[in-house]
Amino acid sequence: MVRGFKYDQLNLVIDGAQSCVAACPNRMDPPASQVSLNQMEKVEVIKGPHALRYGSGLGGTLLFSSIRPSFPEVTQFHGRVSTGYESNGQLIRGEALAGVNGRVFSLDLNGSWSQGDDYKDGNDFIVPSGFNRGSFGANAHIRLNDAHALQINTTRNIARDVEFASSVWT
What DSSP assignment string belongs to 105-116? EEEEEEEEEEEE
Residues 58 and 17 in one domain: yes
Residues 90 and 168 in one domain: yes
CATH number for the domain spanning 22: value is 2.170.130.10
pLDDT of residue 129: 83
Residues 15 and 46 in one domain: yes
What is the model's pTM? Answer: 0.74
What is the distance between the alpha carbons of residues 12 and 117, in angstroms, rounded to a whole number?
28
Residues 143 and 89 in one domain: yes
Q: What is the pLDDT along the chain (170 residues), one digit of tens a residue?
A: 455 555 566 778 888 777 765 555 555 566 777 777 778 889 998 887 665 677 666 777 888 898 889 999 999 999 999 999 999 889 999 999 999 999 999 999 999 999 999 888 888 888 888 889 899 999 999 999 999 999 998 889 888 887 766 555 55
pLDDT of residue 25: 53
Last residue of a domain, one of 67, 82, 109: 67
Last residue of a domain, one of 67, 95, 111: 67
Last residue of a domain, one of 47, 67, 87: 67
Residues 107 and 49 in one domain: no
What DSSP assignment string belongs to 94-149? EEEEEEEE-SSEEEEEEEEEEEE--EE-TTS-EE---EEEEEEEEEEEEE-SSS-E
Residue 82 belongs to domain spanning = 72-170
Q: How many domains does the chain have?
A: 2
